[in-house]
Amino acid sequence: MITLTMNNFGCGSITLKDYQSAAICVLNGKITVDPTNPGYMAATRLELDLPADFAMPKSAMSTAILVSNVPIDRYGTVLHCWIENNRLCIEKITEWDSFGNYEIHINSAFVTRGYHGDDFLKVSYSLTILNTDNLFRFSDYRYVETNDYVYFTAFFTDFPRYSKNGQGPFTLQLSGFAPDVSGEIPLVVHGNVIDSSKKGSRLTVGFFENGNLTFSYPEGAGNMGGQSSFFNFFAVRN
Amino acid sequence: MKLLPSIGFSDFSGSAGNVTARKSGAKTYLSTRTKHSRKKTKYQAATRCRFADTVRGYAKISEDQRRGWISLARGTGTNMTGHNLYVAINTYRKICGKPQCADAPASLKPSDYINMNDDFDMWLSPERVFITGVIPSENPADALLIEMYAAQSAGEANAWNKTVIVAVLQETDWGDVDLTQAFLKKFITPLTIGQMVYMKLCWIDAECGYVKRFTRFYMEARETSLYNRVPFMPRARVTTEQLTPETQDAGCTNFDYELSPVLKITSNSISAMHNKGSLGCRFYHNGLPSAFDFDRTYQYSRGTGEKMKYMIQCTEVLIQNSKYTKTITLTCKAGYFTDHFETFGTYFVTS
């Protein structure tokens, strides 16, 4: 765990789960942003000071997910996120500021560039869905497991849909997934109906624990979920 | 200024005709007036103009400001005059894109050696002048100053005083320093195999730095690298320039994709649009570095068009680099399809 005490948008201390090496760093955690804070309003991007001994003072581009407080649908988007001058930098998008505090979820890897070579190790592991309720079926997925962290992305042919399966909670049970990964993961559950007056995608936040992903939809979520749902994250192992 | 061999006179100074007498310590030296080469390449003209501007600047500053420079020069413990120090500091400032500084800085910062990491190597060949593995300076104001000289004959030795500035860089490109174009711009002709090369590198503070410590390399131009003696291998990277970015069905305005070891991971930033509303768009390339073969990522992307702005989709980026297939395809796999989108981030590459 690392604790980031200094930032430019008036947020208190933030604790992130971390894996650090010179070649790759993985960070997991959630930041709550207050759009009415004067520091936030003055900032052109969000910056958080990393510990002085952080292993990577500069990184290539990575991502974070903004989850807003738009009632029910919690619209949001993917943000640019990177390390520069030993600071964690996050793109500032004000689209959903009028809905109050919003969350930024970081479940990302950070790498450096400049490699001159062609020597790589390409790996991928298999997972099996244990559910017998026919709620989940992969369209495709990629799972990579190391001693220190995992990477998992999946999109689905079958995935719970609010209009058909209700609010939940739902649990995706997996065999082969590292049991020592836990934490909140944003899920893109936009469904197949768009509201042209709204920007971004409908999101919900799930929780991974013991190889299972548990999530639910808010009451009145209408079109959330279904086969176009997906997620994509790095997570530090406990 | 050309220094004549030590003709020592007792006590006079000044100019007469083309000869100037100058005192240094206990000796007086005679020198002939420097003759202008009259060469008029754009680069030389720019250099002369820059130098002349800086020299003129000293004449325009106040007497108090001059005293400040003289005092600062005395503090260096060298024979440097206030005028020389003003010109030196402001020349580097100008090269680094900083405005001329009329007031002497509170202190001077001597240049420092460069540090290298495990990836350090250097290629000096007719095709390229390239360094890898340079560790960035901890001082954000530092610029990387590179001076070079290529010996003109096999018998020319110890030519360290002939090096000239080839480049001043605000930062390295992830440890890489590509001097190929800068070298050609300065010396016009590329290196030849066997030619001896003198190179000085240092980090210099762009605000108030002067050259003191620097790292030196003296090596023969050859096809393989200085340390590991290996041929040059390009970065595992694809950029827009390597694609045909416009097709009948799609356009790509930005493509910056790079691989990092040891497990195959990409960091990338791509902006594209579908013209005909199909879920995938395909671009052709003319061959990529051998690091690429069949590389697939599933990654976040977001809509950039006004109608679907910020909408998230899962985009498959598939790079094929074989003898028969040289394509990059971007396909919406999940989320809500948007025809104008950008995808970026760091992801594992799989088959």
DSSP A120-151: -B---B--EE--SSS--EEEEEEEEE-SSEEE
**Does the structure show a pLDDT above 70 at B265?**
yes
Shortest Cα distance from A36 to chain B (angstroms)? 22
For residue B173, list chain A residues with Cβ-Cβ distance below 8 A.
114
Whether B15 shows a pLDDT value over 90: the answer reads no
Inside any domain, residue B230: no
Q: Of the spans A123-127, A133-137, B21-25, B73-77, which averages the highest pLDDT?
A: A133-137
Inform me whether the pLDDT recorded for A132 exceeds 60.
yes
pLDDT of residue B13: 58
Please tell me the distance in Å from A127's CA to the nearest CA on chain B: 15
**Reduced 3-state DSSP string for chain B:** CEECCCCCECCCCEEECCEEEEEECCEEEEEECCCCCCCCCHHHHHHHHHHHHHHHHHHHCCHHHHHHHHHHHHCCCCCCCHHHHHHHHHHHHHHCCCCCCCCCCCCCEECECCEEEEEEEEEECCCCEEEEEEECCCCCCEEEEEEEEECCCCCCCCCHHHCEEEEEECCCECCEEECHHHHHHHHCCCCCCCCEEEEEEEEEECCCEECCCCEEEEEECCCCCCCCCCCCCCCCEEEHHHEECECCCEEEEEEEEEEECCECEEEEEEEEEECCCCCEEEEEECCCCCCCCEEEEEEEEEECCCCCCCCEEEEEEEEEECCCCEEEEEEEEEECCCCEEEEEEEEECEC
Q: Quick one: pLDDT at residue B37?
A: 55
Q: How many domains are there within chain B?
A: 4
For residue A214, the surrounding DSSP H or E stretch is strand A212-215
Structural domain spans, chain A: 2-111, 128-236
The 10 Å Cβ neighbour count of residue B1 is 9
Check CB contact of A194 with chain B, cutoff 8 Å.
yes
Per the structure, the complete domain to which residue B313 belongs is given by: 237-348
| pLDDT confidence of residue B40 | 58
pLDDT greater than 80 at residue B115: yes
Q: Is residue B232 part of a domain?
A: no
Q: CB distance B334–A155 less than 8 Å?
A: yes
A110 → chain B, closest CA residue: B346
B14 and B49 assigned to the same domain: no
B155 or A87, higher pLDDT: A87
Amino acid sitting at position B101 = C
pLDDT reading at B3 higher than 50: no
Residues B244 and B332 in one domain: yes
Same domain (yes/no): B247, B206 = no
Mutation site, A59, A115, A155, A232, interface B, largest B CB count within 10 A? A115
For range B150-179, the mean pLDDT: 93
Whether residues B86 and B188 fall in one domain? no
Decide if B291 and A117 are in contact by the 8 Å CB cutoff: yes
Q: State the average pLDDT for chain B.
A: 87
Best CA proximity match to B349, nearest among A48, A3, A142: A142
Residue B43, pLDDT above cutoff 60: no
Mean local confidence (pLDDT), A91-113:
97
Q: How many cross-chain Cβ pairs, A to B, lie less than 8 Å apart?
A: 173
> Poorest-confidence range of A131-135, A219-223, B166-170, B215-219?
A219-223
What would the pLDDT profile of A40-94 be if each residue is shown by its tens digit? 999 999 999 999 999 999 999 999 999 999 998 999 999 999 999 999 999 999 9
Contact A119 B298 (CB under 8 A): no
Tell me the pLDDT band of B89, cut-offs 50, 70 and 90.
Answer: confident
Segment among A140-149, B160-169, B268-277, B340-349 with least mean pLDDT: B268-277
Are residue B176 and residue B203 in the same domain, yes or no?
Answer: yes
- Residues in B closer than 8 angstroms to A80, CB to CB, are 344
Same domain, B101 and B46: yes
* B207, B252: one domain: no
> Would you say residue B1 lies in a domain?
yes
Q: Environment class of residue A238 by beta-carbon count within 10 Å: exposed (0-12), middle (13-18) or buried (19+)?
A: exposed
Helix (H, G, I), strand (E, B), or coil: what is residue A162? helix
Are B236 and A115 within 8 A, CB to CB? yes
Q: Residue A13: what pLDDT? A: 95
Decide if pLDDT at A119 tops 90.
Answer: no
Assigned domain for B225 exists? no
**Chain A residue with minimal CA distance to B350?**
A122
Which residues of chain A have a CB within 8 Å of the CB of B230? Answer: none
Q: Does A126 touch chain B (CB under 8 A)?
A: no
Q: Which of B47, B1, B42, B9 is nearest to B26 (CA)?
A: B9
A160-176 average pLDDT score: 95
Cβ distance A77 to B302 less than 8 Å, yes or no, reads yes
- Is the pLDDT at B27 greater than 80, yes or no? no
SS3 A222: coil
Is A21 in the B-facing interface, judged by CB distances under 8 Å? no
Decide if A157 touches B, using CB distance below 8 A.
no
Confirm if A57 and A86 have CB atoms less than 8 A apart. Answer: yes
pLDDT band at B94 (very low <50, low <70, confident <90, very high): confident
Q: Are residues B48 and B98 in the same domain?
A: yes
Task: Give the nearest chain A residue to B332 (CA atoms).
Answer: A228
Is the Cβ pair A61, B290 closer than 8 Å? no
pLDDT grade, residue A194 (50/70/90)? confident
* Mean pLDDT of the B51-79 span: 84
Beta carbons of B220 and B194 less than 8 angstroms apart: yes
Same domain, B45 and B21: no
Distance from CA of B160 to the nearest CA of A (A): 30
Q: What tokens were used for A14?
A: 């933030």
B175 and B92 assigned to the same domain:
no
- What pLDDT was estimated at residue B218? 94
The whole-number pLDDT of residue A8 equals: 97
The pLDDT value given to residue B5: 40
Q: What is the pTM of this model?
A: 0.86
What value of ipTM does the predicted structure carry?
Answer: 0.97
Same domain, B140 and B213: yes
Out of A167-176, B67-76, B219-228, B237-246, least confident range: B67-76
- Residue from B116, B347, B349, B351 whose CB has the most chain A CBs within 10 Å, to mutate: B347
Say whether A61 and B119 touch across the interface (CB within 8 A).
no
One domain for residues B251 and B339 = yes
Classify residue B56: in a domain, yes or no: yes
Of A115, A188, A228, nearest to B259 by CB-CB distance is A115
More confident residue, B121 or B14: B121
Owner of token pair 């903004």: A66
Give residues with Cβ within 8 angstroms of B306, minimum separation 6. none
Q: Can you tell me the mean pLDDT for A202-226?
A: 94
For A224, name the nearest residue in chain B, comparing CA atoms only: B335
In this predicted structure, what is the pLDDT of residue B157? 85
Chain B residue with Cα closest to A75: B311
Residue B211: the pLDDT is 85
CATH topology of domain A128-236: Immunoglobulin-like (2.60.40)
